[in-house]
Amino acid sequence: MSRPTIRDVARAAGVSLATVDRVLNRRAGVRAGTVAKVEEAMQRLDFTRDITAANLSKKRRYRLSFLLPDGDNSFMRGLEAAVQATSRHSSLERAEVTVTMVPAFDGPALARALDAIDRTATDGVAVVATDAAEVREAIDRLTGEGVRVVTLVSDLPGSGRDRFVGIDNVVAGRTAAGLLGRFCGAAPGRIAVVAGSMLLRDHAERRQGFEAVMATEYPHLTVLPPLEGRDDAERVAALLGAALAADPRIVGLYSLGAGNRGVVTALEAAGLAGRLRVVAHELTPQARGALTDGTFDAVINQDAGHEARSAVRILKALIDDRALVEAQERIRIEIFMRDNLP
């Protein structure tokens, strides 16, 4: 018995081939009742779409847009390079990837960039999200018009985004606490925290996980309020330098965002490089150097290349309504110390 075709579905639902195609590709302009009739016909006929054949026959192109924060954040520049590299490779797999830079930590600017995306020329969007109501609403407008959206690195779960691509940031914060608590030992002291901005959910979640473990397992170490350096090296150096000068009881530091150059500058200026226990994030060139010379004790890393490739694969699967290989898309937390640097 031959497999049912879209012609069979159209005949069973009493609609045109074009209508079936619009329903299959989740395009706007089809009434809810018609969508229900087509889906019922597909179920009754046990219709299974051959995605590969459909894409080849239509010369299917996946039109994907990445929105990344601008600035000198070394990790984000590495992510941008990974997306560009993925774009060159993806062109062989019928994916067209464009990158738009948006001011960092600027919710209104990000919302405007999302709203400016051409719905008729875009199938999927990957965005490093700022936790702001206007961004949430802009994502909802995109998904409401049939564009698939994934958040990248920093999530926005209250929005209509389809999926998050990144590490579990609460677990990353808990991991940092476990490391730093052990490094600092049993003597009482204070822990400084350097963040980019609490408007980024990844930073807020790392802080949440970190403080939870420190409070229960290392209560002799007092976690100080975060210094929000906005991932700017000069601002981080000034804020951390002032904190170190004002409080000699600081024995450890958790740098949960970017700004590692500023952290190193402040520690060296205070004469504390190699004396203060430090756990930071992302294996950037600056973090690698700080690990090598003993300024940092450990770095928690996420693979930017894996995230870029995973975002493309996930968006393509969402667009095609295909299942994912979950193990392939899980972004793992890596821990680097001086002795296991790649």
pLDDT confidence tier of residue 56, bands split at 50, 70 and 90: very low
Q: For position 126, what pLDDT does the model report?
A: 98
Q: Are 62-166+304-331 and 169-301 in the same CATH fold?
A: yes
Indicate if the alpha-carbon torsion angle 300, 306, 308, 310 is positive or negative.
negative
pLDDT confidence tier of residue 133, bands split at 50, 70 and 90: very high
Q: How far apart are CA 172 and CA 43, in angstroms?
A: 43
DSSP assignment letter at 101: E
**Residue pLDDT, tens place only, 229-249:** 999 999 999 999 999 999 999
Cβ neighbours for 92, distance < 8 A, ≥ 6 positions apart: none
Q: Does domain 62-166+304-331 have CATH number 1.10.3720.10?
A: no
Q: For position 87, what pLDDT does the model report?
A: 82
Q: Which residues pair with 228 in a beta bridge?
A: 195
The domain locations on the chain are 6-49, 62-166+304-331, 169-301
Q: Is the pLDDT of residue 50 over 70?
A: no
CATH architecture designation of domain 6-49: Orthogonal Bundle (1.10)
CATH class for domain 169-301? Answer: alpha beta
**Three-state DSSP class for 285?**
helix
**Residue pLDDT, tens place only, 135-186:** 999 999 999 999 999 999 999 999 999 999 999 999 999 999 999 999 999 9
pLDDT confidence tier of residue 292, bands split at 50, 70 and 90: very high
Q: How far apart are CA 84 and CA 75, in angstroms?
A: 14
CA atoms within 13 A on the CB side of 184: 31
Q: How far apart are CA 215 and CA 254, in angstroms?
A: 15
Residue 341 and residue 291 in contact, taking contact as beta carbons nearer than 8 Å: yes
Q: How far apart are CA 75 and CA 77, in angstroms?
A: 5
Q: For position 51, what pLDDT does the model report?
A: 52
With CA atoms as reference, report the closest residue to 278 among 174, 170, 194: 194
With CA atoms as reference, report the closest residue to 280 among 136, 183, 215: 183
